[in-house]
Structure 1
Amino acid sequence: MTAPPRLRVDLTDVALARDGRPVFEGLSLTLTERRVGVIGRNGAGKSQLSRLIAGLVRPDRGEVRVDGIDVARDRRAAIRSVGILFQNPDHQIIFPTVDEELAFGLTSLGLTRAEARARVTATLARFGRQDWAGRNVQTLSQGQRHLLCLMAVLAMEPATILLDEPFAGLDLATELMLNAILSALPQRLIHVTHDLGALAGYDRVVWLDAGRIVGDGAPAAVIAAYRAEMAERARHAGTEF
């Protein structure tokens, strides 16, 4: 049997509507790069794109595959392959203690409780947070909860990590700390962001507008075109906004 392709995201003729409003109509996109940024105005479809790739949303038409896996239909395989880090950690954390939060995804992968406990211990040690063992999540700061979510994703060892505005609302020190961790990861990152500076050094940037790809390619060129378009729209704010 041929092994599934690696480091490849394929969206094929994807249609998606939310609350009766079309988000995507016939979107096709292939990503093979290790670092990909996704930019665009609010409502452009960026977050829905990340949820489609993570398998959290099923397209109304078309197919989404990550490394050969149909993420909407094969959820067990999808959670092994793709992790997602949301903007608000409180939308992601569901258990009262750090240990339970870290262990949940691991048991979902099929690890025994003993195996999950061992990996939780190793994950806490990796980040120098052994003192968090047994700690109530509510005692963690906002930045610490962001780190906990990242730790939970990394404990599951996915090949792809989706970042949906992960630095929004963080103080500079926490943002720099998390960015340093993410930059050093071997995993593929797909980063949805309004912070254009966060995409420095990325391999590719995709610009979405109203569910359509209007820019795609080298980050410097796409970001420059995006800035110019936003500046032009701002000059015509009275008629376009």
Structure 2
Amino acid sequence: MNERLRTVMIQRKVTPEDLAASCEVDVKTVERWISLGRQPLRRHRWAVAKHLGVDESYLWPPDADDTPGQLTEQAELVAAFPNRASVPQQTWVRLLKSAQEHIDVLVFSGTFFAQTNPRVAAMLAERADAGVRVRLCFGDPSGKAVAVRDKEEGIGGTLSAKIRASLTYYRKLIGTPGCDVRLHDTTLYNSLFRFDDALLVNPHVWGQPASANPLFELRRLGDDGWFDHYAGSFDGVWETAKPWSPESM
């Protein structure tokens, strides 16, 4: 069975009939791709990957040869977006609502995360109530790292204000079991958004806002791959961050 194809179809709520119509093949052909692990023709692989919004090599990884580690890491790359702003809102909502164990967010301000989904705090509380560990880590508005990033982007001292505005959305999460909000004073090379074994990595480019920079979606396949490499950096920053109290703002 092609577990990756089956899982992505379930996550995207795409039925075999939907995929068959998109690829212009019989539904039984799609069922064989899933249940028997049959590999489609190249043109059909491209069509499937495009319809599901994932990388073809994730659904059908190259055969392992003398570079298995490299192939595994490449296969962890599910999708690439030209900039964060081009990631569909439904992708963020789908990943958040489907999380069963972990939701981790590492940003400076992350203003878009709440402004594009006003119910984000309530949804995070719901996931925490379902047993998900929620960890949100924002830049310290009075910290040196925020001041440096503000100067690099040339935004005239407004980054601190953006962080304070963003934090107001999460006031109700303080004291909610399973939810923690912290402030860091760390140079960020990426913004990170983890939902269980899915991780969205938004690299930082000097002088450019995060929304204008590329975003990569990773899917964890095993130990010591790209996913673990980035997830480990979240844990490192989290350990140095301090708990946030609304009263301190």
Structure 1 and Structure 2 fold alike (TM over 0.5):
no
Write 1 or 2 for the structure with the bigger share of strand: 1
Write 1 or 2 for the structure with the bigger share of helix: 2
Which of structures 1 and 2 has the bigger CA Rg? 2
TM-score, normalisation: structure 2? 0.29
